[in-house]
């Protein structure tokens, strides 16, 4: 049993992860500021599944609160920390870049400082498939350089990886970054495609289909994401004794640092994804075909060989199964 800090505990991934950690007997301090980027009521509903459970404490705090974060680490003396709090969304970062600097970079630095001074045994943090940016060599490998982000969101996640490596090197804090690939499922974010499509289709409205439908994504079901996070959390990274500074491997280091992809290791055409949703809802989608959005990419695809080799896990949930579970939850939650 461990005491674990989970930031973003009222979020999609954070709430699900917190529940799984509690199930296995860990103590969880869930930090979340319940901001209004999307429906606060959904965040409160997620949080209500955790509050009242033995071993759970919610702390309402901003990551940007330097003194508050420092005091929290000093008081609670966490064994491990998982950072899932962030200003999310690629498109939102086009219009609101400073929100990403404040939360994703300044706030992240405060967490690193907390881990440093309280000697946390393992710091796991959410990165994103968006860091691959202009890369087109697929499937995306953690051993490839990711130096050409296409949005500030992606740049902030790449910055997190660099900052974490620095702390692993200087202070020997074991850190692991997880690049998530298009997470979906029950309790998902309302700004994500599946939620938006479902809401519009049930209302008889058109759905916005970007790049005229010529998009491919590595859709990853929430339970697979959570299982991957837990397995990685339990595997504290060690320095790579074979790391070569003449041929540096971006995924490992002489420091206790590791990067993994967590994706379904499959590409799914967006139109096939929509057809699976049509079948699940029993509704034919009306589509508004649109151009590619700034900062977006036409395709993602995760190479998960390192995840399989190191923690013995590979996501397996099919899109059809995952969409059916989401639709079932959506109808129940919204009473439709």
Give the residue numbers marked as catalytic: 153
Q: Cα separation of 282 and 276, whole Å?
A: 10
Measuring CA to CA, which residue among 52, 54, 11, 3 is closest to residue 33?
11
CA atoms within 13 A on the CB side of 180: 24
Query: Residue 109: phi, psi to the nearest 5?
Result: -60, -35
Helix 319-334 crosses helix 193-202 at what angle (to 10 degrees)?
A: 60
Q: What Å distances lie between residue 45 and 38, 51, 113, 168, 325, CA to CA?
A: 13, 10, 31, 36, 18
- Could you tell me the sign of the dihedral formed by the alpha carbons of 98, 100, 102, 106, in that order? negative
Q: Which two tokens stand for residue 59?
A: 């702390």
- 191 Cβ neighbours under 8 A, 6+ residues apart: 37, 38, 88, 89, 92
Q: How many CB atoms lie within 10 A of CB 60?
A: 11
> How many helical (H) and strand (E) elements, i.e. helices and strands, does the chain have?
12, 13
H or E element in which residue 232 lies: helix 222-233
Q: How many CB atoms lie within 10 A of CB 162?
A: 9
């Amino acid at each position: 049993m461990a005491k674990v800090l989970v930031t973003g505990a009222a979020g999609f991934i954070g709430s699900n992860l917190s529940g799984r950690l509690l199930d296995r007997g860990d103590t969880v301090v869930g930090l979340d500021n319940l901001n209004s980027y999307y429906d606060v009521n959904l965040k409160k509903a997620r949080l209500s599944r955790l509050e009242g459970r033995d071993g759970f404490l919610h702390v309402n705090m901003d990551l940007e609160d330097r003194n508050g974060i420092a005091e929290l680490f000093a008081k609670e003396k966490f064994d491990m920390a998982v950072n899932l709090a962030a200003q999310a969304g690629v498109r939102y970062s086009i219009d609101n870049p400073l929100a990403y600097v404040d939360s994703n970079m300044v706030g992240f630095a405060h967490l690193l400082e907390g881990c440093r001074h309280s000697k946390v045994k393992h710091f796991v943090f959410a990165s994103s498939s968006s860091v691959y940016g202009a890369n087109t060599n697929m499937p995306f490998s953690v051993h490839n350089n990711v130096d050409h982000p296409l949005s500030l969101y992606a740049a902030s996640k790449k910055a997190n990886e660099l900052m974490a490596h620095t702390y692993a090197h200087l202070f020997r804090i074991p850190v692991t970054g997880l690049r998530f690939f298009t997470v979906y499922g029950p309790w998902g974010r309302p700004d994500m495609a599946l939620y938006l499509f479902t809401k519009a289709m049930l209302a008889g409205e058109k759905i916005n289909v970007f790049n005229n439908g010529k998009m491919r994504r590595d859709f990853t079901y929430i339970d697979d994401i959570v299982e991957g996070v837990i397995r990685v959390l339990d595997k504290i990274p060690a320095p790579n004794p074979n790391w070569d500074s003449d041929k540096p491997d971006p995924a490992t280091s002489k420091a206790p640092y590791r990067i993994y992809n967590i994706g379904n290791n499959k590409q799914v055409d967006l139109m096939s994804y929509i057809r699976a949703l049509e079948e699940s809802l029993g509704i034919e989608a009306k589509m508004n075909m649109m151009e590619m959005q700034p900062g977006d990419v036409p395709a993602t695809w995760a190479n998960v060989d390192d995840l399989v080799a190191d923690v013995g896990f590979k996501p397996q949930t099919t899109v059809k199964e995952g969409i059916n579970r989401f639709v079932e939850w959506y109808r129940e939650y919204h009473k439709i």
